Amino acid sequence: MSAGETGGPAPAERSAELRRQIHEHDHRYYVLDDPVVSDQDYDALLAELRGLEAADPELVVPDSPTQRVGGKASERFPAARHRLPMLSLANARSEDELRAWVTRMRAHLAREGFANARFAYVSEPKIDGLAISLLYENGELVRGATRGDGEIGEDVTPNLRTIRAIPLRIDEAPDLVEVRGEVYLPVAAFAALNEQRAAAGESTFMNPRNSAAGSLRQLDPAVTASRPLSMWSYGVGALQGKKPFARHSDALAWLRERGFRVNPDVMVHDDDDIEAAIERCRFWEQRRTQLDYEIDGVVVKVDDAEQQFRLGAVGRDPRGQIAWKFAPTTATTVLRSIMWNVGRVGALHPFAVLEPVGVGGVTVKLATLHNEEDLLRKDVRPGDEVIVTRAGDVIPQVISPAPHAAARPDRAPPPRPPERCPSCGTPTTKPEGSVFTICPNRAGCPGQLFQQVKHFVSRGAIDIEGLGEERVGKFLSDGVIADAADLYALTVERLGALEGFQETSARNLVAAIAASRERPFARVLFALGLEEVGFVTARNLAQRFRSIDALMAASAEEIATTPGIGEKVAATVVRELSTPGVASLIGRLRAAGLAFEQQGSAPGEGPLSEKTLVLTGALPTLTREQATERILAAGGRVTSSVSKATDYLVAGDSPGSKLDKAERLGVSVIGEEELQGLLAGGQGS
């Protein structure tokens, strides 16, 4: 049955419409830096067009997007023709697709007379940035260009020269070498740049790759230089005056030796082991949020250069390389409305109700907007198309309106916080200098009480397994508990009488509550939910004062001598601890057996006395929290950033940029085994 008979467009009509849409999206992305669809949606359009063309080759026309690699070079910059085409990669989104890629390669080589081929693979994180080409003649950087359409890019040499990660000269260089890499903007810098642009009334970038492109394609190199761009090198293109590399991994080693940044997480998988490469892809899918740069997948390549050559390319895709793509962590959708929640200390938090959209492998319907000042700065309004992001288990958040949203003539007015608390109806107030409108009903607002108990039982605080948000709400609404201290009076019999509990689940929860009595003082202090007291502040206060009695007796001036705590926070801590409700809760929790005294060595005492340590990466057996607690108990200090004052960097798997900085500063780098030795009183290097 033909397409016309089923009511759908004919293949020729549909392919023409797909070409038109893809060309428009290419123009918006590559030329205007203003994309309006996600990478996933763009890939779906391109895949549909490829399918139509594969079914009917007569549909392939010279200007089809399938016949080129990227976007047309901007006329703002001189054209730069590449010595060798810069191809893009085919995508795999499942283990079966990756295995099918191997099957296709073997079949192709068999047709070429090379049966029973065996492969070594190289896997490396796929940086979400902008592909570039660096051309060196006799060791000197003479040209830097974007990929463009794969044949012709943009000459952005002055801008690339501002990036400190790019060597301007290389030693022991051949007559000519082309280095290929990916320019990117670190995650923290991307967030800061978007905040600055939003505050200045400028359009924000949709994702780190878009921001890297916008930063690099500036007419004024000083603008590029003002943004902390960096680069990972991932291969060698044109080469003259030197024997070609036998393996891709050899080329990477050569680049690393000459000062190029080559990702330390590149891994070679020998013995035809595609399963090891698949395992590495899964590894990075779980660890991607631990990096200080965005990755959107893993690139898997055949390591042998001769095999790569014989495999060749099909259309725009080299047969010997493929990209395992992750579910996108950024998407655009429509903001339906803005609602408000009351927090544990009365602050009203705005959140977005969204048209459901897939982000990071889940469907997102709600997203945080942080506070009303942030809401005003971002200028998102109901009806806007907005950019939403989600990384790992982080709560989804609205970054900004899509770049074109502000042009809508019928845009809604800016949202304002409610005049009455949405939980208890109390008139709201806006304290001077605060970024939050608040509900002042601290003692009687059910919304605040719910948030307080939810925080108390959460991970990082008291961490009671099996007691989640839904169950906390049910306990409070049914009168099972009136506050967090009541949890310690619950019995198996009492829980067993409640709907949804069997004897086993009741016993498990009572056991989990009992186990929470073992949490250290710092976590108990954090669990109280005092205003301005986050986990690090609670930890520092516990180390400084050693007991709740000493802390409650301290003046604001004494508290302000604690590392990381200023006068304003100190005054808030004094006010919070003197509140009758807080004092009563502390007394009841102490009676229930929770720890209100610090164990271990005081600062300046113990085997790690006066030592400052930084943790990075995943340790083999200790969580970050466990390692921190043991270091503090040994009299040491734990900070979040590496400096000349750091004594040891404790590095686990996937350490990131902290390891680079430690090595530059000459800071001692140790692993978990060496840390255990220090904790036991051994001598460090």
Show which residues are catalytic. Answer: 126
Residues facing 358 on adjacent strands: 363
DSSP per-residue letters across 316-334? TEETTEEEEEPPPSEEEEE
How far is residue 334's CA from residue 356's CA, in Å, rounded to a whole number? 8
DSSP per-residue letters across 266-292? -EEE-TT-HHHHHHHHHHHHHHGGGSS
Residues facing 398 on adjacent strands: 388
Which two tokens mark 83?
């010595």
What letter represents residue 685's amino acid?
Answer: S
Which two tokens mark 99?
């295995």
DSSP state of 564: T
Cβ–Cβ < 8 Å for 627, 615: yes
Residues facing 330 on adjacent strands: 389
Which two tokens mark 130?
């902008």
Which two tokens mark 63?
């200007």
Cβ–Cβ < 8 Å for 319, 104: yes
Beta strand 668-670 pairing with 648-651: parallel
What crossing angle do the helices spanning 567-577 and 580-591 adopt, rounded to 10°?
70
Backbone phi, psi, residue 122, to 5°: -120, 130
Which two tokens mark 101?
């890629």
Give the DSSP H/E element, type plus range, for residue 181: strand 176-184
* b/e code 49-75 from CB counts within 10 Å (16+ = b): bbebbeeeeebbeeebbbebbbbebbe
DSSP state of 85: -
Backbone phi, psi, residue 152, to 5°: -130, 125
Locus of tokens 């495999």: 311
Which two tokens mark 464?
């009671």
Residues facing 656 on adjacent strands: none
